[in-house]
A and B are shown apart, each in its own frame.
Chain A
Amino acid sequence: MRAFEYASPTTKEQAVALLGEKWGEIEVLAGGTDLLSLMKDDVAQPKRLVDIKEVKELQGIKYAPATGLRLGALVTMQELLENPAIKKEYPALAQAADGITSPQIRNAGTVGGDLCQRPRCWYFRDGMGLLAQDAKGRPLVPEGENRYHAILGNSGPAYFVNPSSLAPALIALGASIRIFGPKGPREVGAGEFFVTPKTNGEREYVLKPNEIVTDILVPPAAGARNATYEVRQREALDWPLAAAAVALKMSGARISSARVVLGHVAPVPWPAPEAEKFLAGKTVSEQVAQDAGASALRGAKALSQNTYKIQLAKVAVKRAILRAAQGRV
Chain B
Amino acid sequence: MPDYKWPDATRRALMGKRHSRIDGPDKVSGKAKYTQDRKLPDMLYGRIVRCPYAHAKVVSVDTSAAEKMPGVRAVTVIQGPGKEIHWAGDEIVAIAATDENIARDAARSVKVVYEQLPHFVREEDLSEAGSQIKDPEEKTEGDPDKGFKEADVVSEGVYGLPVITHCTFESHGSLNAWEGDDKLLAYISTQAVSDVGSGYAQPLKIPAANVHILQDHIGGGFGSKFSTDRWDVEAAVLAKKAGKPVRMVLDRDEELKVAGARPSTFARVKVAAKKDGTILAWDSTSWGTGGLTGAGAPPLPYCWRIPYRLKHYAVATNIGPSRAWRAPNHPQACCITMGALEDLAATLKMDPLDLFLKNIEMTAPRANLYKEELLKAAEMIEWKKKWHPRGDTTPGHIKKGLGLSIHTWGGRGHVSENRVTIHADGSVSCELASQDLGTGTRTVIAIVAAETLGLPISAITVKIGDNRYPRSGASGGSTTVGGVSASTRRATVDARDLLFQKVAPALNADAAKLEAVGGRIQVQGDPTKSMTWKQACARLGATPIVATGKCIGGRDELTNQGVGGAQMVEVAVDTETGIVKIEKFVAVQDVGYLISLKTAESQMYGAIIMGISYSLFEEKIMDPTTGRMVNPNMEFYKLAGIGDIGRIQVHMVMNKEQDERGVIGLGEPPVVSPGAAIGNAIANAIGIRVPNLPFTPDRVLAALEKRGGLS
Residues of A within 8 A of B (CB): 1-3, 42, 101, 120, 122-123, 125-126, 128, 134, 140, 143-145, 147-148, 231, 233-239, 241, 305-308, 311-312, 315, 318
- B625→A140 contact, CB < 8 A: yes
* Interface residue from B101, B621, B626, B697 paired with A241 (Cβ < 8 Å): B697
Interface majority SS (helix, strand, loop, mixed), chain A? loop
- Chain B residue numbers with a CB within 8 Å of A312 are 577-578, 697
Q: A122-B631, A308-B702 are in contact. Are A234 and B638 (CB under 8 A)?
A: yes
Q: Which of B542-584 contact A (CB under 8 A)?
A: 576-579
Report A147 CB to chain B, min CB distance, Å. Answer: 6
A134 nearest in chain B by CB position = B625
Q: A134-B626, A144-B624 are in contact. Are A236 and B578 (CB under 8 A)?
A: no
- Chain A residue numbers with a CB within 8 Å of B577 are 231, 311-312, 315
CA distance A147 to B623 in the complex (A): 12
A239 nearest in chain B by CB position = B635
CA distance A3 to B71 in the complex (A): 14
- B579→A235 contact, CB < 8 A: no
- Chain A residue numbers with a CB within 8 Å of B622 are 145
- B643→A145 contact, CB < 8 A: no
Confirm or deny: B696 has a beta carbon within 8 angstroms of a beta carbon on chain A: yes
A45 nearest in chain B by CB position = B108
* Interface residue from A140, A308, A315 paired with B626 (Cβ < 8 Å): A140
CA distance A235 to B612 in the complex (A): 13
Interface string of B624-653 (1 = CB under 8 A from A): 111010110101101111111000000000
CA distance A235 to B582 in the complex (A): 11
Confirm or deny: B354 has a beta carbon within 8 angstroms of a beta carbon on chain A: no
Report B209 CB to chain A, min CB distance, Å. Answer: 41
CA distance A237 to B38 in the complex (A): 31
Residues of B within 8 A of A (CB): 101, 104-105, 108, 576-579, 616-617, 621-626, 628, 630-631, 633, 635-636, 638-644, 696-698, 701-702, 710
Q: A42-B108, A143-B625 are in contact. Are A233 and B641 (CB under 8 A)?
A: no
- A234→B697 contact, CB < 8 A: no
- B696→A233 contact, CB < 8 A: yes
CA distance A144 to B628 in the complex (A): 11
Report A275 CB to chain B, min CB distance, Å. Answer: 17
- Chain B residue numbers with a CB within 8 Å of A140 are 623, 625-626
B252 nearest in chain A by CB position = A40
- A308→B578 contact, CB < 8 A: yes
- B644→A308 contact, CB < 8 A: no
Report A1 CB to chain B, min CB distance, Å. Answer: 7
CA distance A122 to B640 in the complex (A): 20
- B640→A145 contact, CB < 8 A: no
For B576, B639, B643, the residue with the greatest tally of chain A CB atoms inside 10 Å of its CB is B576
CA distance A326 to B104 in the complex (A): 53
- Chain A residue numbers with a CB within 8 Å of B633 are 125
* Interface residue from A120, A233, A305 paired with B579 (Cβ < 8 Å): A233
- A126→B630 contact, CB < 8 A: yes
CA distance A231 to B701 in the complex (A): 14
Q: A140-B623, A140-B625, A144-B624 are in contact. Are A233 and B635 (CB under 8 A)?
A: no
A140 nearest in chain B by CB position = B625
- Chain A residue numbers with a CB within 8 Å of B710 are 311
- B631→A236 contact, CB < 8 A: no
Report B631 CB to chain A, min CB distance, Å. Answer: 6
- A sample of 14 more A-B contacts (CB under 8 A), given A1-B104, A312-B578, is A101-B641, A101-B643, A120-B635, A140-B623, A140-B626, A143-B625, A145-B630, A147-B698, A233-B579, A233-B616, A234-B638, A236-B640, A236-B643, A312-B577
CA distance A144 to B631 in the complex (A): 13
Report B626 CB to chain A, min CB distance, Å. Answer: 7
- A236→B579 contact, CB < 8 A: no
Report B65 CB to chain A, min CB distance, Å. Answer: 14
CA distance A239 to B579 in the complex (A): 14
- Chain B residue numbers with a CB within 8 Å of A2 are 105, 108
Report A315 CB to chain B, min CB distance, Å. Answer: 5
CA distance A1 to B104 in the complex (A): 8
| 7 tightest Cβ-Cβ pairs between the two chains A and B | A236-B641, A235-B643, A308-B698, A122-B630, A308-B701, A315-B576, A145-B630
Q: A140-B626, A231-B579, A238-B638 are in contact. Are A145 and B621 (CB under 8 A)?
A: yes
Report B429 CB to chain A, min CB distance, Å. Answer: 41
- A143→B624 contact, CB < 8 A: yes
- B642→A236 contact, CB < 8 A: yes
- Chain B residue numbers with a CB within 8 Å of A125 are 633
B700 nearest in chain A by CB position = A308
B578 nearest in chain A by CB position = A308
CA distance A238 to B631 in the complex (A): 14
B397 nearest in chain A by CB position = A315
- Chain A residue numbers with a CB within 8 Å of B105 are 2-3
B695 nearest in chain A by CB position = A233
CA distance A318 to B101 in the complex (A): 49
- Chain A residue numbers with a CB within 8 Å of B626 are 126, 128, 134, 140, 144
Report B259 CB to chain A, min CB distance, Å. Answer: 18
Report A117 CB to chain B, min CB distance, Å. Answer: 13
CA distance A1 to B102 in the complex (A): 10
- A311→B701 contact, CB < 8 A: yes
Report A116 CB to chain B, min CB distance, Å. Answer: 18
- Chain A residue numbers with a CB within 8 Å of B625 are 134, 140, 143-144
A241 nearest in chain B by CB position = B697
* Interface residue from A1, A235, A241, A311 paired with B644 (Cβ < 8 Å): A235
* Interface residue from A122, A144, A306, A315 paired with B636 (Cβ < 8 Å): A122
A319 nearest in chain B by CB position = B576
CA distance A15 to B164 in the complex (A): 45
CA distance A311 to B104 in the complex (A): 44
- A234→B101 contact, CB < 8 A: no
Report A317 CB to chain B, min CB distance, Å. Answer: 12
CA distance A2 to B108 in the complex (A): 10
CA distance A125 to B623 in the complex (A): 14
CA distance A123 to B401 in the complex (A): 37
CA distance A238 to B642 in the complex (A): 13
Q: A140-B623, A235-B643, A236-B644 are in contact. Are A3 and B638 (CB under 8 A)?
A: no
- A234→B630 contact, CB < 8 A: no
Write 20 A-B pairs (CB below 8 A) sorted by A numbering. A1-B101, A2-B105, A120-B635, A122-B630, A126-B626, A128-B626, A143-B624, A145-B621, A234-B638, A234-B641, A234-B643, A234-B644, A235-B641, A235-B642, A236-B641, A236-B644, A308-B702, A311-B710, A312-B577, A315-B577
- Chain A residue numbers with a CB within 8 Å of B697 are 231, 233, 241, 308, 312
Report A303 CB to chain B, min CB distance, Å. Answer: 12
CA distance A312 to B624 in the complex (A): 26
- A145→B623 contact, CB < 8 A: yes
CA distance A42 to B107 in the complex (A): 12
CA distance A122 to B623 in the complex (A): 10
A120 nearest in chain B by CB position = B635
Q: A122-B630, A145-B630, A231-B577 are in contact. Are A305 and B638 (CB under 8 A)?
A: no
- B617→A233 contact, CB < 8 A: yes
B698 nearest in chain A by CB position = A308
CA distance A148 to B698 in the complex (A): 10
B122 nearest in chain A by CB position = A145
CA distance A305 to B623 in the complex (A): 12
Report B169 CB to chain A, min CB distance, Å. Answer: 15
Report B249 CB to chain A, min CB distance, Å. Answer: 15
- Chain A residue numbers with a CB within 8 Å of B644 are 234-236
CA distance A143 to B710 in the complex (A): 26
- A237→B696 contact, CB < 8 A: no
CA distance A237 to B624 in the complex (A): 28
CA distance A128 to B633 in the complex (A): 16
- A144→B698 contact, CB < 8 A: no
B628 nearest in chain A by CB position = A126
- B640→A234 contact, CB < 8 A: yes
- Chain A residue numbers with a CB within 8 Å of B638 are 233-234, 238
CA distance A284 to B379 in the complex (A): 44
Report B646 CB to chain A, min CB distance, Å. Answer: 10
- B101→A3 contact, CB < 8 A: yes
- Chain B residue numbers with a CB within 8 Å of A128 are 626
- Chain B residue numbers with a CB within 8 Å of A231 are 577, 579, 697
